[in-house]
Every structure is written in structure tokens, then in C-alpha cells.
Amino acid sequence: MSQPFEELASLDKLVHEPARLAVLTALSAAGSADFVFLQRLTGLNKGTLSSHLSKLEEAGMVQITKQFRGKTPNTAVQLTNAGQTAIDQHWQQINALHEAARHWRPDETKP
């Protein structure tokens, strides 16, 4: 069985990147949110958030809808089923690795 420290390298880097992890975790709790809300919540600038959302959209983890509310443009971001599955699996894997690391002892690495 591989050590928990080795398994950290196998985390999905698309999900694990801090900004995308923040966005996916927020959407997991809320289901959907608008761009401005996500920007305020994460502290990311417009360009950075837009770039991360594009990557998540390309991966099928979020659905982006651009519309107008009156005369004001609005960008809505919704977590897809694939995105919900990815973020749930990611946190389960992180929690399992954390627990394994807490119980790891250096003598376990000897053959």
C-alpha cells in the first residue's frame, strides 16, 4: 500500500488548485452563484476567476450562463453533476489521506 504522502501527488490537479477548489467548494454548498458573488467570496480578480471558470467549464464541472437582468449583464455559474462528484471525491480523498497521515509512523516505510 502506498504511503499517504505519495498519494497526495495523485490528487486531481484541476480540482485541487486553490482557486478552483474554493469555487467548487462554494458551488457545492450553494449549487449556483453569480460571477460577482464568486469574485467577492474568493477574492480573485475578474480575469483570474474567468480563467479558472473556463477551465472548469471545459472539464464539464460547471455550466456558465450569461444573461441580462434588466439592462445589467449577469453571469451565472452552476455546478454540474460531474462537478459535484469531482468535489465530493476530492474532499473524501483529502480526508482519507489526512486520517492516514495522522496514523502514519516512520517505521512503516521500511521494507
Residue 62: is its pLDDT beyond 60? Answer: yes
Query: b/e for 13-48, b at 16 or more Cβ within 10 A?
Result: ebbebebbbbbbbbbbeeeebebeebbeebebeeee
Report which DSSP code applies to 10: G
| φ and ψ at residue 11, rounded to 5 degrees | -65, 145
CATH of residue 62's domain is 1.10.10.10
Confidence of residue 105 (pLDDT cuts 50, 70, 90): confident
Predicted confidence at residue 109, as pLDDT, reads 54
Asked, for residue 107, whether it belongs to a domain, the answer is no
Asked, for residue 109, whether it belongs to a domain, the answer is no
Q: What is the pLDDT of residues 26-55, one digit of tens each?
A: 999 999 999 999 999 999 999 999 999 999
Residue 1: is its pLDDT beyond 80? Answer: no
Taking alpha carbons only, the member of 36, 33, 54 closest to residue 45 is 36
Q: What is the pLDDT of residues 4-32, one digit of tens each?
A: 778 888 899 999 999 999 999 999 999 99
Asked, for residue 48, whether it belongs to a domain, the answer is yes
- What's the domain count of the chain? 1
Q: What is the pLDDT of residues 80-100, one digit of tens each?
A: 999 999 999 999 999 999 998
- Which residue segment(s) compose the domain that 48 sits in? 4-102
Asked, for residue 60, whether it belongs to a domain, the answer is yes
